């Protein structure tokens, strides 16, 4: 097996548990290097660190899979890792719908698997993981005997690994429009064309957090996508709910979700540019009891972080101005490039500019089926905040 030796001065991050090894952290390599192959990693003086897959085309040269020198990377390895991930979710009560595998947090870097009832959607985001796709599907079939497996590998990050974007069935074809249950409601999941793997499971716990603040309230949700927060607001007793999203398809699905839960009289949706509407309505001094902001990531690169900060500050300032005194702002950020401390700082800046006082009600991360490892920063990505604004 090819051996990779780390540089002396920058190996501490890897020794304390991070699975990523960048090209500039490697001193030398002994043996042939075939992209996607399993290699052994050692410190500069020959102490074993772990085994992982290598790709010279990627900035992340090696992603570690195991720290056990006796553990073989084979079909059984993936079966055992997937069983371990499933047992963890079951212990936490995530049985019907869940993020079954959350990449590095489940010791399976660059692998994402979402479970929707009896259907599984997978993403293999690096070459080394993509090469084990058949073994992963075989293991999933053995554990779950699912009604279908689908790959959503239509993501640009694969191209950085020399992989093409693609999506399609990894099992016999099935109806990819699935209905799931969440918190007493039902939602349509479009596995083929929905965002990411078809549905945002990471907010399923947070959607319950609005239960009390929306009762009898006039609620506005900007960037509503398929209306999951809006439908929860209606279900929890809101007087009226208005969801805004720029996507006609998303709004059409939001309306179908409202009808599916008999909430079409309470929950209304408009296909508009939410940025423009927030700006216009704050000038017109429209007022709501609750404003919900769950925008897409404003940046995927560190070069544009200032643009993201400006965007988050602007929409939160507008949201605060649309609230009645004592109203509640529900706001989220899904980019891991904005850490929790910076997100709270942005909200504070927005409040000061809007001349508002704020009181924190709840501050959370992603649902617990997306586990967080303290030594791997990118496993903490979602920030979810509820504040009272006066």
Place of tokens 């694969």: 158
Task: Tell me, yes or no, if 334 is annotated catalytic.
Answer: yes
Which tokens is 322 given? 């649309």
Which tokens is 7 given? 């540089």
Which tokens is 243 given? 């969801």
Cα separation, 39 vs 36, whole angstroms: 9
Of 246, 216, 221, give the one whose Cα is nearest residue 231.
221
Please state whether beta strands 218-222 and 240-245 pair in parallel, antiparallel, or not at all (unpaired): parallel
Residue 343's SS3 state is: helix
Q: What is the DSSP letter of 195?
A: S
Cβ atoms 386, 209 nearer than 8 A: yes
Of 75, 122, 77, give the one whose Cα is nearest residue 103.
122
Please state whether beta strands 48-54 and 383-389 pair in parallel, antiparallel, or not at all (unpaired): unpaired
Angle, CA 62 vertex, CA 56 and CA 63 arms, to 5°:
140
Angle, CA 140 vertex, CA 138 and CA 146 arms, to 5°:
110
Cβ atoms 102, 366 nearer than 8 A: no
Query: What is the Cα 251 distance to its own chain's centre?
Result: 21
Q: How many CB atoms lie within 10 A of CB 165?
A: 12
Q: What is the DSSP letter of 44?
A: T
Cβ atoms 89, 120 nearer than 8 A: no
Cβ atoms 165, 158 nearer than 8 A: yes
Given 98, 137, 224, 334, which residue is catalytic? 334
Which residues are CB-neighbours of 306 under 8 A, at least 6 positions away? none
Query: What residues are annotated to the active site?
Result: 334
């Amino acid at each position: 097996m090819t051996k990779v030796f780390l540089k002396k001065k920058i190996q501490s991050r890897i020794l304390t548990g991070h699975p990523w090894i960048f090209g500039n952290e490697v001193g030398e390599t002994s043996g042939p290097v075939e992209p996607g192959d399993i290699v052994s990693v050692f410190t500069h003086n020959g102490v074993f660190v772990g085994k992982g897959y290598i790709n010279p085309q990627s900035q992340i040269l090696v992603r570690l899979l195991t720290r056990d020198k006796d553990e073989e990377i084979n079909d059984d390895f993936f079966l055992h890792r997937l069983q371990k991930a499933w047992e963890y979710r079951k212990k936490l009560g995530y049985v019907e719908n869940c993020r079954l595998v959350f990449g590095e947090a489940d010791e399976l870097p660059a692998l994402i698997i979402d479970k929707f009832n009896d259907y599984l959607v997978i993403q293999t985001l690096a070459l080394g993981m993509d090469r084990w796709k058949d073994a992963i599907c075989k293991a999933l079939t053995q554990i779950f005997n699912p009604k279908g497996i689908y790959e959503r590998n239509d993501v640009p990050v694969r191209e950085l690994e020399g992989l093409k974007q693609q999506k399609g069935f990894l099992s016999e074809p099935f109806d990819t429009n699935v209905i799931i249950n969440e918190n007493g409601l039902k939602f349509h999941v479009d596995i083929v064309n929905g965002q990411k793997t078809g549905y945002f499971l990471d907010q399923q716990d947070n959607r319950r957090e609005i239960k009390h603040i929306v009762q009898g309230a006039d609620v506005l949700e900007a960037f509503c996508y398929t209306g999951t927060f809006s439908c929860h607001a209606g279900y929890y007793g809101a007087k009226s709910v208005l969801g805004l999203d720029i996507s006609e398809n998303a709004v059409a699905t939001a309306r179908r979700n409202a009808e599916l839960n008999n909430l079409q009289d309470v929950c209304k949706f408009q296909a508009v540019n939410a940025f423009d509407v927030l700006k216009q309505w704050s000038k017109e001094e429209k007022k709501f009891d609750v404003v919900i902001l769950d925008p897409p990531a404003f940046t995927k690169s560190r070069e544009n972080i200032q643009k993201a900060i400006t965007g988050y500050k602007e929409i939160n300032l507008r949201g605060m101005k649309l609230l009645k005194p004592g109203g509640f702002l529900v706001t989220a950020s899904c980019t891991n490039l904005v850490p929790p401390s910076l997100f709270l700082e942005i909200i504070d800046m927005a409040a000061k500019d809007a001349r508002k006082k704020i009181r924190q009600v709840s501050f959370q991360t992603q649902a617990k089926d997306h586990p967080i490892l303290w030594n791997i920063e990118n496993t903490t990505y979602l920030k979810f905040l509820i504040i009272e604004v006066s």
